[in-house]
């Protein structure tokens, strides 16, 4: 499969300096890493971000073929008070870029304030953290979320029932739901789930072909770079030392494959950003899977999720066969 190319619009928005800056910041990547210390990890130096949103446009351009396309009226869910329809498909909602949605997997969070007597204004690219031990993968009852061998965490759209368990257990509540699509419509549309969950998949298809994620390739300021996790964490810590700054993501939730470096403490940034649906926090986060109850739940879910996942894959193969 040939991955989708970034549109001319994204490159124009990024500016003429994009290609040269990114060439220095990162090189094509391999999708064959298998150990956690060899997971592909992104380092995000937020002091470089100018909030041009070229990364946001590039993400949407490249991944629009993966976006949900509901057909017909939304099913009336039962019970209505508990299961809400979440429909982001109308054009005015699809165009939202100031938060995470099923059609916007990356956005720029803004933080303004004062630290050590000096004012600051920082822009922070936000998306899925791609955790080392992701609760969305461990606790999905349908086996729809999984971690690739290079550390990228995906939600398989053909298996997801839209129950939003992944969003509930994610420390940052990253995944977003689109109702009116997915496997549940073919099974029990009013009772079994409520759509499909969507989030950044870090352009796994581009990475598999040795290309960069779109957001990294198009950035004119070299805000992000990608490489083996051990190298990126070491580089983040060196950079933080050089600027007397701070690191986020290296240990949060037991460690993630998204590492931020900031000249301002993340606790201060957390007080300065908007937090709410689609707007994740920047609080220090303990390892959510260290909770014994969650570990037991993961053990109980695993065999059931495996069976459901296998049935879902068989169903997909069957439908593909019918289409030939």
- The answer to whether 182 touches 109, Cβ cutoff 8 Å, is no
The pLDDT tens digits of the residues spanning 33-62 come to: 444 448 999 999 999 999 999 999 999 999
pLDDT at residue 198 tops 50: yes
Q: Which of 43, 37, 44 is nearest to 228 (CA)?
A: 37
- What domains does the chain contain, in order, with CATH numbers? 12-323 (3.30.70.20)
Mean pLDDT throughout 185-211? 86
Instruction: Output the DSSP codes for 72-110.
Output: SSPP--SSTTTS------SHHHHT--SS-BTTB--EEEE
Tokens read off for 305: 């999720």
Radius of gyration of the chain, Cα coordinates, nearest whole angstrom: 20
In this prediction, residue 226 carries a pLDDT of 97
Q: pLDDT digit string (tens) for 74-106?
A: 777 666 656 678 999 999 999 999 999 999 999
């Amino acid at each position: 499969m040939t991955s989708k190319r970034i549109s001319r619009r994204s490159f124009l928005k990024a500016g003429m300096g994009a290609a040269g800056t990114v060439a220095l910041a990162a090189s094509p990547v391999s999708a064959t890493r298998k150990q956690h210390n060899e997971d592909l990890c992104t380092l995000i130096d937020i002091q470089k971000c100018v909030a041009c949103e070229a990364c946001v446009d590039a993400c949407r351009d490249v991944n629009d073929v993966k976006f949900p396309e509901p057909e017909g009226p939304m099913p009336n869910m039962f019970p209505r008070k508990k299961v809400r329809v979440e429909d982001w498909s109308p054009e005015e909602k699809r165009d939202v870029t100031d938060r995470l949605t099923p059609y916007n997997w990356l956005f720029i969070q803004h933080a303004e304030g004062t630290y050590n007597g000096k004012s600051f204004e920082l822009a922070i690219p936000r998306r899925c953290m791609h955790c080392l031990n992701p609760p969305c993968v461990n606790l999905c009852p349908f086996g729809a979320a999984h971690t690739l061998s290079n550390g990228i965490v995906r939600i398989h759209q053909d298996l997801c029932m839209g129950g939003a368990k992944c969003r509930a257990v994610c420390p940052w509540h990253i995944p977003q739901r689109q109702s009116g699509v997915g496997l549940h419509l073919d099974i029990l549309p009013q009772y079994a789930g409520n759509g499909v969950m969507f989030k950044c998949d870090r352009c796994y298809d581009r990475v598999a072909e040795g290309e960069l994620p779109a957001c990294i390739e198009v950035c004119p300021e070299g805000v992000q770079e990608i490489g083996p996790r051990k190298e990126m964490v070491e580089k983040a810590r060196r950079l933080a030392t050089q600027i007397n700054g701070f690191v986020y993501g290296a240990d949060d939730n037991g460690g993630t494959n998204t590492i931020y470096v900031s000249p301002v403490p993340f606790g201060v940034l957390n007080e300065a950003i908007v937090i709410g649906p689609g707007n994740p926090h920047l609080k220090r986060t303990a390892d959510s899977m260290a909770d014994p109850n969650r570990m037991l739940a993961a053990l109980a879910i695993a065999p059931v999720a495996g069976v459901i996942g296998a049935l879902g894959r068989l169903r997909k193969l069957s439908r593909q066969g019918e289409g030939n």
